[in-house]
Chains A and B, each alone.
Chain A
Amino acid sequence: DSGVTQTPKHLITATGQRVTLRCSPRSGDLSVYWYQQSLDQGLQFLIQYYNGEERAKGNILERFSAQQFPDLHSELNLSSLELGDSALYFCASSVADGGWTTDTQYFGPGTRLTVL
C-alpha cells in the first residue's frame, strides 16, 4: 500500500459524458501527478500539481482538466468522453515539486475507466 488513494476503482460510462476521478496523496506529500495508461499508448504523464498550483503539463487533452484543492487532494475531470479515453488513470504523489532527484513518486492503485 503506497498511501495514495484513488476513487472510484472502476467507472463505466458512455461517450459524450463527463466524469471526475479523485486522488488523495500520501500524508505530507505536496505534489500530485496524473498518468494515463492505455493499451496502445503505455503510461503517459498528463499533469502535475504542487501545493495547489499547476506545475507541469504533459500530453493532456483540452477535454481534460485537473485541480488540486487546499487539502491537497486532486481531481481529474474528463469531459466529452470518447471510446479512446478508456484507460487506467493513475495518480501519484511526492513530497516536493519533483525537482529533487530523490523525490520519489508513489502511485495509487488507479481508476479503470471504460467508455462505451
Chain B
Amino acid sequence: DAKTTQPTSMDCAEGRAANLPCNHSTISGNEYVYWYRQIHSQGPQYIIHGLKNNETNEMASLIITEDRKSSTLILPHATLRDTAVYYCIVSPNTDKLIFGTGTRLQVFP
C-alpha cells in the first residue's frame, strides 16, 4: 500500500509555479521521498528525490518539512507540457517503487 497522500487533482496557470503537496506522516528515518510523473499514457519519468534537505535540479525543487512528514514538489514555471500525473513515493531505495494514485496536474494557458 502507498504510504503517501496526495490531492487528486490540481490546476495551475502556465508560467506560474506549481506546488504539489504530499503527506507521508509514517515515513521512516531511512526512507527517501521520490517524485515521478506520467504524461498521458507514457512511461513514468523520474523528477527528483530527497531525504531531509531541500533539493533542486533542472526540473524541479523538493521542499521537505523539518519533521519529514510532508513535502512539496515545486515546478517553478509550469508549461503545458507539465500536464501529467505526479506521484510522490517514499522508499528506502529505488527497489520496488510503490505508486499511489498521484495528483493530476492540469496546466492551463
Contact = CB atoms under 8 A, between A and B. Distances in A.
* A, B from the same assembly: yes
Interface of A: 2, 4, 42-45, 48, 55-56, 58, 88, 90, 92, 94, 97-110, 112
Interface of B: 32, 38, 41-46, 49, 51, 87, 92-101
8 contacts: A4-B43, A42-B101, A48-B95, A104-B94, A105-B44, A105-B46, A109-B42, A112-B41
A48 B96 contact: yes
A104 B46 contact: yes
A10 to B, nearest CB: 11
A107 B49 contact: no
Contacts of A107: 42-45
B16 to A, nearest CB: 28
B64 to A, nearest CB: 14
Nearest to B30: A101
Contacts of A98: 93-96
Interface-centre pick from B42, B44, B94, B98 (highest chain A CB count, 10 A): B94
